[in-house]
Amino acid sequence: DTAVSQTPKYLVTQMGNDKSIKCEQNLGHDTMYWYKQDSKKFLKIMFSYNNKELIINETVPNRFSPKSPDKAHLNLHINSLELGDSAVYFCASSPEGKLGGNTIYFGEGSWLTVV
Amino acid sequence: GQNIDQPTEMTATEGAIVQINCTYQTSGFNGLFWYQQHAGEAPTFLSYNVLDGLEEKGRFSSFLSRSKGYSYLLLKELQMKDSASYLCAVRDDGGYQKVTFGIGTKLQVIP
């Protein structure tokens, strides 16, 4: 009964390839996110969707394209992978409304290594 | 935007008490979170403060002063398993209430 699940957990790929990471949440939350954690462990938001609508789009290269087919899924597609894309990508979700402070629940992370 | 500062590393002894500080400068504020992240794992929620004061939850407590832009996480009776990174995160008061994380404080608990 995993709350936020993402696949694959580990991904090693060559520069220039295109890859996707999938994410699903079974918490009934309205908001989903992609965060990137680099080698310095800094966790930075990339995108946020609310009910399939893109609401936060930080300064991210347009090689990164999120897609939300429904409010329980948020996938991340990356084109023309570069060495600097190597990082851990965390999917997350949070409920709507201010009750409970919109706590963010994270998936286990996808370790991407570009060689 | 948000600017969040916390020490990068701390060391404390098993059984002791440790306080991890976080200061923030924000264009809008609507709550502060503390998350724990063990190496190789996802961040997990510890606490949330939106009003001034102390919130206690077992061995962990979190304090907030909105006027000073300051929070701390207090860990009592430290255990070896508390060795982890502790992330301070601030939610803004914009329409989408974005949450921004600090760099995290890596705590090492020693015997």
- What is the maximal distance between C-alpha atoms in chain B? 46
Query: Confidence class of residue B12 from pLDDT cuts 50, 70 and 90?
Result: very high
Higher pLDDT, B41 or A58: B41
Nearest CA to B99 among A76, A105, A9? A105
Half-sphere exposure of A80 (CA within 13 A, CB side): 3
A30 near B CB under 8 A: no
CA-based R_g, chain A, Å: 14
Task: For residue range B57-107, list pLDDT tens digits in order.
Answer: 999 999 999 999 999 999 999 999 999 999 999 988 776 778 899 999 999
> Is the CB of A109 inside 8 Å of chain B's CB atoms?
yes
CB contact under 8 A, A42 and B101: yes
Mean pLDDT of A35-53: 89
Cβ contact B41–A100 (<8 Å)? no
Chain B partners within 8 Å of A104 (Cβ): 33, 45, 99
Residues from chain B contacting residue A48 (CB–CB below 8 Å): 96, 98
Output the pLDDT for position A18.
Answer: 97
Q: What is the mean pLDDT of chain B?
A: 93
Pairing type for strands B32-37 and A43-50 reads: unpaired
The interface residues of chain B toward chain A in range 37-76, judged by CB-CB distance below 8 A, are 37, 41-45, 48, 50
